[in-house]
Amino acid sequence: GAVVSQHPSRVICKSGTSVKIECRSLDFQATTMFWYRQFPKKSLMLMATSNEGSKATYEQGVEKDKFLINHASLTLSTLTVTSAHPEDSSFYICSARGSGGAFSPLHFGNGTRLTVT
């Protein structure tokens, strides 16, 4: 089946530094990728939707200058948390939709646990 690889699985960084998370579709072309944030005991909160070759669409309340999303190719999207602070510590998950149309199923990565000290 379709696989989405997310890297790294865990990252610890110091406050004020930036962290990049990669999301790759390994065996299909992902025209659309979604980035979610998951808090403990909370649901997955959609942060943004990225379409290959265009600017990401951010959900209300998500700082686009802080969470930079790049979808430069059909197999790679990146999320960069800039000037990270402890409150950015969370579990980030990406999902990707194939090029089979709007009803293509979503495939999820295994997530990245970010800890900002």
List interacting residues with other proteins (CB under 8 A): 4, 6, 9, 34, 36, 41-44, 46, 49, 93, 95, 97, 101-106, 108-111
Closer CB to other proteins, residue 82 or residue 89? Answer: 89
CB of 21 to other proteins, least distance (A): 13
Q: Tell me the closest approach of the beta carbon of residue 20 to other proteins, in angstroms.
A: 19
Question: Rounded to an integer, what distance in angstroms lies between the CA atom of residue 115 and that of residue 110?
Answer: 16
| Closer residue to other proteins in complex, CB, 44/76 | 44
| Residue of 34, 13, 22 whose CA lies nearest to 88 | 13
Closest to other proteins by CB, 32 or 78 = 32
Nearer to other proteins, 77 or 95 (CB): 95
Minimum separation from the CB atom of position 36 to other proteins (A): 8
Q: Are 64 and 58 in contact (CB under 8 A)?
A: yes
SS3 for 2-22 is CCEEEECCEEEECCCCCEEEE
Calculate ∠ Cα 5-7-8, nearest 5°: 150
